[in-house]
Structure formats: C-alpha cells, structure tokens
Amino acid sequence: MKLYSYFRSSAAYRVRIVLSLKGLEVDYRYIHMLKDGGQQHAADYHAVNPMKLVPALEIEGGILTQSLAICEYLDETHPDPALLPGSAADRAYVRAIAAAIACEIHPLNNLRVLAYLSSELGLDKPTRDVWYRHWIAEGLTGVEALVARSGKAGDYCFGDTPTLADAFLVPQLANARRFACDLAAYPTLTAIEQRAILSPAFAAAAPEAQGDVEH
C-alpha cells in the first residue's frame, strides 16, 4: 500500500492513526499542500486523486480516497483490532462522531476554504481566524455533548479501547490547538485526547513524527 499524505493534514492524520492501530506498514508519498502552489494541484497527483486532496491510499487494484472511506476499508480488510463496535447502535454512535468531524467541522475549516476566504473574499488573517474558531466551537460543542451524554465513553469515545471516533477526534483537536482555539469547554473530549496521544500508535501517527515534518 502507498499513502499519499501531508504531515499537517488532519484527514491524512486520521488514516495514519488507523494504519498505526492496525500495525500496518505503508510506503509514503508526501504531497506538500503549500509548496509549489500546492503539490496536490499537480497533474500527476490529479491523476491519483481528482479531488486534489490528501489522503489517497493506493491498494492492489486501485486508489481509495476520502479518509472515512479509507478508514472503514482498512477496518473491514484488517479487522483486528476492530475499530467499530459490535452492535449496530454502537457502530452508529461511533460513525456519528467521525462524521460530525469529517463532514460538519473539517470542511468549513480546511486549507482550501481558508485560502478562498483570504484570496477571493479578502479576509485578513485575524478575521479568517475568527471564522475558524467560530465553526470549531460550533462543532466541538455538539460533539462534546454527544460523547458526554452518551453513557458510552470510557478512556476513549466508546469504552476503553480506540475506535474510528478517536482516530478522527485527535487530529481535529490538534488542528484546533494550532489555531489557538479555547478548548476549555470540551473537558470530555480533551481528556480522551490526552489519554490517546500517550498511546504509541497515536504518537507514531502524529504530525511531528512524520517524514515530511517541517521543524
């Protein structure tokens, strides 16, 4: 397998966590999303992923895109350890957390949206950061309530072992910290995060541990 990744991409970070939890080795192909006008826009990468985003996972027989689809593929094809619970209701709960992050929070704050706010709408960085923090707060407030009220959380979002929910939560909180978001209102989520990042699997997937990290 080959993973097209960028150390700072939270979507790629999710997939790296799942690969690490599964103990899977991949060959990395680094796509720098700022250099050269954004290497994701190059014609050769466009042939890999027409959406011009990372991650993309090259497998025998094709290329997978979209982090949620990739993570579910990895969980189905390498089921030990399982990252989705046994019951349909519990799987729906875990998927709801992952989807809230991947579909509700992240799309409003990803690189191309922030670039558009600056280049096309003329927002300066302080104003753009207000946008970012507003939508982070809107989304994380909902996820905090979802997890805290569920009765399903333990050391992680579901019980005491990681699931796809945690693989999506940790990168989103890392992004929020990069933009100096106030996370005091999310004690359940940040406690889970702090336990997770002590895990060797999560640590190995972190941005600072990647081969393309910029110091």
The model's pLDDT over 81-97, given as tens digits with 9 standing for 90+, comes to 999 999 999 999 999 99
Please check whether residue 101 is in contact with residue 107, taking contact to mean a CB–CB distance below 8 angstroms.
no
Note the pLDDT of residue 214.
Answer: 86
* pLDDT bracket for residue 177 (50, 70, 90): very high
Residue written as tokens 């939270």?
10
pLDDT at 102 over 70: yes
Cα–Cα distance measured from residue 82 to residue 69, given in angstroms and rounded to the nearest whole number: 15
pLDDT at 215 over 90: no
Note the pLDDT of residue 22.
Answer: 98
- Amino acid type, 49: N
Note the pLDDT of residue 195.
Answer: 98
Mean per-residue pLDDT for 101-106? Answer: 96
Angle at 107 between CA 68 and CA 36, to 5 degrees: 95
* pLDDT bracket for residue 147 (50, 70, 90): very high
Residue 16's Cβ-count burial label (10 Å; 0-12, 13-18, 19+) is buried
- How does the average pLDDT of the chain come out, rounded? 96
Mean per-residue pLDDT for 69-85? Answer: 98
CA dihedral 204, 209, 211, 215 (to 10 degrees): 170
The DSSP element (H or E) to which 113 belongs, if any, is helix 111-119
Percent of the chain with pLDDT over 70: 100
Write down all domains in the chain, each with its CATH number in brackets: 2-80 (3.40.30.10), 88-201 (1.20.1050.10)
189, 168, 172, 191: which is closest to 132 by C-alpha? Answer: 172
